[in-house]
Structures are given as structure tokens and as C-alpha cells.
Amino acid sequence: MPLPVPEGYRPLDERTLPAYLAGLPAIAERLGGSPADWRAADVGDGNVNLVFLVHGAAGSVCVKQALPYVRLVGESWPLTLERIWYEYQALIECARYVGRRVPEVYHYDPRLYLLVVECLSPHIILRRGLVDGIRYPRFAEQMADYLARSLFFTSNLAQPAEEKRRRAALFGGNVELCRIMEDMVFTEPYRLHERNRWNSPQMDGLAEEIRRDVPLKLAVSRWKLRYMNSAEALIHGDLHTGSIMVTPQDTRIIDQEFAFYGPMGFDVGAVLANLLISYISQNGHATAAQPREEQQRWLLETVEELWERFRDAFLDLWREHGLGDAYPQPLFADPAAQAALAEERKAYLQRLFDDAMGFCGAKILRRIFGLAHVLDLETIADPDCRAACETACVRLARDLLVHPERYRGIADVTAAAAALRRDQSPAGSDLQRGTAGAA
Ligand code: ADP
Ligand code: MG
């Protein structure tokens, strides 16, 4: 049974949407012309909500409405309507620091649990572009800037203590969406669960192996606790390559409904995890006409560039805008203290790297054994070839989780990924062997 809905709530559709939007003067003006000529299209590739693009004579808008259940699954999986309010709050808070990296908000309707935002065009979903072999030369720089600004400015490094606590408390109510991550990322893939699925029978052996893998279950539970415990910054909370829309020139971040004050490394690790999956999965998309070697080289460079630019941008922001209540300035006025603080900042970033790698491992594994899979792997037609890519992903992810000491810098991660991709062993072989490139 779906949740009972509040009075006045009704889901809109392509037919009812134009009349509704006609009642919002600013939106009507943006669309232009007569409402009778507006065309609403159900985008339909979302998993959770209703999303429509509405086109008028003068412009377009994107309308997102929460349903009292998960769209992909149906009424048997009820989910709170309030999720769209958190998305709205995250968009406006984030926009203060990242400007147009997130879509502009035009309207929020608390009765219909509906959000009207900027229609991104000609942007496409990054994951789709990567599967199709497209390269995005500006992506690493723009994504690093988004991550550094959104995470730094919402943290205690930049905010007054009271403000940070108030904001964190506001997002503290997003419990249902956080619970989904807690279950689907950190728990379900490691036990028998009706929601799990995998590439069967090729991956049956590995699925069983990770259910018996105590060191892996300990490691992933350690990261689960960190996800639950750490309110470092306002994080996107679901920052995979399906939540990023791109052109070769521009990068935009969408789908903020999982936002809350959580560990910074969860966002950084999510992006890197999905780039690494894309990298390894390119083996399954290579053809004689499109060998994908350039794409793979670019993806590995992007993983490195993204982390390095993020780290440097974050440190720059901290040096220039570190006015929050953590590390109070008067305590570090003299040169010796300043030098010590500079070392402290570097250590903070090293700890953030470790977090990102732990979450990266967890984010990779859930895409192979949990409910939600990714196009990068699912569109590989040959199940054996797909399983070889998946096995390489699993090896990398397990090693990141169980042997973090092998990954002190981003080059250790890309070296391990490159070695695994070159040496894609048959599916289901011994996991404990770890990765060829590391150690
Ligand atoms: P869900 O929460 O259901 O996953 P998303 O926010 O991910 O919904 O949106 C679903 C799809 O709608 C995206 O994959 C993208 O194709 C499209 N979309 C979402 N927001 C916009 C936007 N602002 N402009 C253009 N297309 C969008
Ligand atoms: Mg989505």
C-alpha cells in the first residue's frame, strides 16, 4: 500500500500539466505562447519520481513530482513525498556556493510535492555519454569545483557553528532516503535479500563469496557507520554518473533527493566509483571500429585529475575562506602555528581521500550485487564478457575496502584499475587474490 497522501495532492500527467503550469504566471511567461501549444513529455528514465520536460514557444522547464511510492517498483514500495522538499532545499542551499552547476529553481509546490526547475538542454546524462564513448574535456575541472565548493562551504570549516547545526538539523529529517542508502549500499549486497540481483549464473559464485567474506563485511559496516555518524557537510548523497548531466562544455548536477549532512567522502567516492566502473566496462563496449582505448585513457586521467583538482581546490578554499568555527583563526596567527595548520589541512585531505576510497568500494559493489544496476555493465550484450568486467570491478572494490593501506594516493587506484582491466580473468575466480596492480 502506498502512503496515505495529504489533502490536495494528486499526481500530474502530460495532459494535466499544462493547465497547472498556466496558473503560475512566472512559469507561463517563461514557456511563452498559449498553454494549448505547450508539450509535456514524460522523461521516464528516472527510477523514483515523475519527471516531465515541458516545451513552450519561448522556453522549456523541467517538472519533478514525488509519488507516494518508488516509481520503478510501484505501490508495493511506499516512499515519503517529503523527499522532493529535501531536493528543493538542497538545490537552493547548494546554488549559493556552486551557482549554475545545479539547475535553477523556478517554483516549489508544497501541496503537490512538485518542483519546477531549469530544463537542461542539450545536456545528456553523463553515464549515457560515457557508454557511447563520448569524452568530456571540461568535466574533471567543473566537477572538482562543484565538489570542493559544495562540501567546503557547507562544513564547519566555513560556517558558524550555529548555522551549520541548524542546517544539519533541517536535513536530519531525510531519514527514509538515508535508510535506503544504508540498506542498499552497505547491507543488502552482503546478505541474501529479495531485492538483490546479479548477472546469473556467471556471477553466482562471487555473490556467494562476498556473503561469506567477513573482512569485507566488517569493512563495509565500518563505512556504513561513518555514513550514519558523520555530519561533515551538505552532501548530494547519490552522486553517480546518472545524477550528472553534461555537454562537452558544461557539467550540471541533478537529483538531490538523497541530500543530508553526511561524510564528504561519500560524494567524492560515488563519482570516482562510477568513473572506474565506466573505465573497466569499456572492455565490453570496444569494437574493431571503436576500440575505446582513447576513452579508457581519458577516463583514467579523469579519475586522477578529478581527485587532484578537488584536493587543490578544497585546500585553496580553506586557506582563503576558512572562517568557520572549526580551527579558530586567533589560535593560528603566528607563522609556526600557520605552518602546523597547513600540515593539518593536508592530513584532513588525506583522511578525506581514505573515506572516498572506502565509499568508492562500497558504491561499486552495490551496482553489481544489489538492486540498482548501471547501464555501463548492463548494456554489455555478452554475459560472459559482462561478467569479466564485473569481476574486475569486484576485485578492485574489495581491495579498496579490505586493503586500504595499498591505496595511499589516486595513482595507486588507477594503477590497480588498469592492471585489472588488462588482466580480466574469468568470472568467479578467487577474490582473495586481490588486485594485480596494487601491493
Ligand atoms: P529520479 O529521482 O526519478 O531518479 P531524476 O532527477 O534523476 O529523477 O531525473 C530523471 C531523468 O529526467 C534524468 O535522468 C534526466 O534524463 C531527466 N532530467 C532530470 N532533471 C532534468 C533537467 N533539469 N533538465 C533536463 N532533463 C532532466
Ligand atoms: Mg535519479
Q: In 3D, which of 305, 296, 252, 291 has the Cα closest to residue 276?
A: 296
Split at pLDDT 50, 70, 90, the class of 249 is very high
Q: In 3D, which of 274, 325, 4 has the Cα closest to residue 131?
A: 274
Q: pLDDT tens digit string along 62-82?
A: 999 999 999 988 899 999 999
**63 in contact with ligand 1, CB cutoff 6 A:** no
Residue of 2 and 359 predicted with greater confidence = 359
Split at pLDDT 50, 70, 90, the class of 426 is low
Is the pLDDT confidence value at 288 over 90? yes
Task: Give the residues across from 61 on adjacent strands.
Answer: 54, 118
pTM of the model: 0.96
Is the pLDDT confidence value at 374 over 50? yes
**158 in contact with ligand 1, CB cutoff 6 A:** no
In the block, cell 563520448 appears at 134
pLDDT over 90, % of the chain:
93
Are 149 and 97 within 8 A, CB to CB? yes
Return the beta strands (E) in 197-236 as ranges.
233-235
pLDDT over 70, % of the chain:
96
What pLDDT is attached to residue 430? 55
What pLDDT is attached to residue 422? 87
Sequence-distant (≥ 6) Cβ neighbours of residue 117 within 8 angstroms:
61, 62, 64, 91, 103, 104, 105, 106
Which residue has the CA at smallest separation from atom 9 of ligand 1? Answer: 46
Atom of ligand 1 nearest to the CA of 119: 24
**432 in contact with ligand 1, CB cutoff 6 A:** no
Within its chain, how far is the Cα of 1 from the centroid? 29
9 C-alpha to ligand 1 centroid (Å): 21
What pLDDT is attached to residue 436? 43
What pLDDT is attached to residue 88? 98
What pLDDT is attached to residue 4? 84
Gap between the Cα atoms of 26 and 57, Å rounded: 14
Which residue has the CA at smallest separation from atom 17 of ligand 1? Answer: 43
Sequence-distant (≥ 6) Cβ neighbours of residue 348 within 8 angstroms:
none
**220 in contact with ligand 1, CB cutoff 6 A:** no
Q: pLDDT tens digit string along 97-150?
A: 999 999 999 999 999 999 999 999 999 999 999 999 999 999 999 999 999 999
Neighbours of 280 (CB within 10 A): 27
Mutate to test the pocket of ligand 1, among 120, 181, 243, 255 (most ligand atoms within 8 A of CB): 255
Split at pLDDT 50, 70, 90, the class of 437 is very low
Q: pLDDT tens digit string along 159-197?
A: 999 999 999 999 999 999 999 999 999 999 999 999 999
What pLDDT is attached to residue 6? 93
Q: What angle do CA 399, 310, 395 make, to 5 degrees?
A: 15
Mean pLDDT of the chain: 95
Within its chain, how far is the Cα of 32 from the centroid? 34
Are 364 and 396 within 8 A, CB to CB? yes
What pLDDT is attached to residue 76? 93
Atom of ligand 1 nearest to the CA of 245: 15
Task: Give the residues across from 50 on adjacent strands.
Answer: 65
- What φ, ψ does residue 52 adopt, rounded to 5°? -125, 145
What pLDDT is attached to residue 314? 98
Gap between the Cα atoms of 131 and 281, Å rounded: 8
